[in-house]
Amino acid sequence: MTARVAIVGATGAVGREFLRILEEREFPLDDLRLLGSSRSLGVRLGFRGEAIPVEEMGLSSLRGMDIAFFSAGSSVSREHARSAADGGCVVIDNSSAFRMDEDVPLVVPEINPEAGKRHAGIIANPNCSTIIFVVAIHPIWKMSGIRQAVVCTYQAVSGAGAGGIRALQREMEGAQSDGEVFPHPIAHNVVPQVGDFSPDGEAEEEAKMERETRKILGDPAIRISSTCVRVPILRAHSEAVHLGLGRALSPEQIAIALRVAPGVRLVDDPAGSRYPSPLPATGGDDVLVGRLRRCRAFENGVALFLAGDQLRKGAALNAVQIAERCL
Ligand SMILES: NC(=O)c1ccc[n+]([C@@H]2O[C@H](COP(=O)([O-])OP(=O)(O)OC[C@H]3O[C@@H](n4cnc5c(N)ncnc54)[C@H](OP(=O)(O)O)[C@@H]3O)[C@@H](O)[C@H]2O)c1
């Protein structure tokens, strides 16, 4: 079976990654439509040796399409996704527009592929920090349950899109921060704000990590507290994770489970200074997990460090895997 596929937001940081991944994985498509805003008119993007023109997104752009990967922000998804789904196109949405809607499955194929099969036209791709987190903790959660998690993230500027990459590159060349993408300078700095703050001081990204993890695992009792931090690197997010388990597991038992877990690569050789970090995670499909050890702050506590390419597994790759495994 081949499909007619559209990428909405094809010129963005995630959109361009979609093109690479569809090509690498030889996704069975017989028509590829690339859509963006009027700013992208005249742009052509390469795919399988062809230069495909980007069209301006309009009301009829998705007519006749079987699958649309939406990657143009929540407002574009809210405006177009439901009508595309009503017209028979399956929407796989990268934005946060529908993630918590009851009729929209929130899917990580290594964890809950069956949920994706029960869609009503829209399937949501989780937040990038959440995807790489759940891929790493799911094997542990299956063995022992997880009562609580404390997570600190180190998030690459490309998590804020192509504008985030440009902002860091400009500042590294000496330009002043213009405050457009990040609220403070990002070169030679870290910024403990990813998204807007709620009245109680939690940033949007931090709230997403708890509510989306609960929905993906189907575990409303898990308590997650996170601090999400933007760091001056171009690509791949990292996370320091501390877990309180439902029953005691040794780091060795966890390592055995992670070694065979889909989507995970155990990189854990403290004596050889081998552990996950963003550079080796960049461009790869797996979430790297290491620094496995006991955590004394929690009963049955374990700690780990992970790194994953958030433009791939945290966004485009996960969405393509949903199309491959759930449709
Ligand atoms: N970056 C990540 O790591 C990441 C991870 C997970 C999820 N996401 C989500 O993925 C989506 C895209 O993120 P990104 O990082 O790729 O952002 P980006 O680099 O800023 O790209 C945004 C894309 O949306 C298009 N767009 C903007 N307004 C539009 C409109 N009115 N109509 C049609 N297209 C429009 C842009 O087209 P023009 O070039 O024509 O402006 C561009 O192709 C967002 O919803 C984001 O939250 C991002």
Which atom of ligand 1 is the closest one to the Cα of 315? 6
Mutate to test the pocket of ligand 1, among 8, 11, 38, 79 (most ligand atoms within 8 A of CB): 11
Dihedral (C-alpha) 285, 29, 66, 45: value to the nearest 10 degrees?
A: 70
Using CA atoms, how far residue 296 sits from 82, 134, 136, 146, in Å, is 48, 22, 20, 15
| Closest CA relative to residue 110, chosen from 265, 247, 304 | 265
CA of 293 to the centre of ligand 1 (A): 38
The string of pLDDT tens digits covering residues 1-54 is 899 999 999 999 999 999 999 999 999 999 999 999 999 999 999 999 999 999
Task: Give the closest residue to 99 by CA, choosing from 18, 205, 5.
Answer: 205
pTM of the model: 0.98
The distance in angstroms from the start CA to the end CA of the chain is: 11
In this model, does residue 247 exceed pLDDT 90? yes
Residue 262 near residue 321 (C-beta atoms within 8 A): no
Question: Whose C-alpha lies nearest to ligand 1, atom 20?
Answer: 161
Measured distance CA(195)–CA(228) in Å, rounded: 9
Q: Ligand 1: distance of its center to the CA of 9 in Å?
A: 5
Query: pLDDT per residue over 123-137, tens digit each?
Result: 999 999 999 999 999
pLDDT number for residue 323: 98
Element at 254 (helix H, strand E): helix 251-259
Q: Whose CA is nearest to atom 47 of ligand 1?
A: 95
CA distances to 89, 148, 156, 181, 189 from 168, rounded to whole Å, are 37, 34, 10, 10, 10
* Beta carbon of 164 within 6 Å of any ligand 1 atom: no
What amino acid positions are annotated as catalytic residues?
128, 237
Pocket test for ligand 1, best of 7, 14, 33 (most atoms within 8 A of CB): 14
pLDDT for 1 = 80
Please classify residue 296 by burial: count the beta carbons closer than 10 Å to its beta carbon, then call 0-12 exposed, 13-18 middle and 19+ buried.
Answer: exposed
- The 10s digit of each residue's pLDDT in 154-199 is 999 999 999 999 999 999 999 999 999 999 999 999 999 999 999 9
Compute the average pLDDT of residues 52-58: 97
Q: Is 15 in the pocket of ligand 1 (CB under 6 A)?
A: yes
CB-based contacts of 24, cutoff 8 Å, min separation 6: none
Looking at ligand 1, which residue's alpha carbon is closest to its atom 37? 36
Which residue owns the Cα nearest ligand 1 atom 29?
37
CA–centroid distance, 139 to ligand 1, in Å, is 31
**Protein residue closest via CA to atom 30 of ligand 1:** 37
Note the pLDDT of residue 228: 99
Ligand 1: atom nearest CA of 8 is 34
Q: What is the pLDDT of residues 226-243, one digit of tens each?
A: 999 999 999 999 999 999
Residue 166's pLDDT is what?
Answer: 98
Only one residue has tokens 């704000």, namely 193
For ligand 1, whether the C-beta of 236 sits within 6 Å is no
Q: Find out whether the beta carbon of 163 lies less than 6 Å from any atom of ligand 1.
A: yes
Report pLDDT for 139: 98
Q: Is the CB of 40 under 6 A from ligand 1?
A: yes
CB-ligand 1 contact for 129 (6 Å cutoff): no
Q: Starting at the earlier edge strand, list the strands of the sheet with 146-155.
A: 223-230, 146-155, 237-245, 301-308, 287-294, 264-266
For residue 188, what pLDDT is reported? 98
**Cα(127)–Cα(208) distance, rounded to whole angstroms?**
7
The answer to whether the CB of 126 is under 6 A from ligand 1 is no
The per-residue b/e assignment along 132-145, b for 16 or more CB within 10 angstroms, e otherwise, is bbbbbbbbbbebbb
Residue 11, ligand 1, Cβ within 6 A: yes
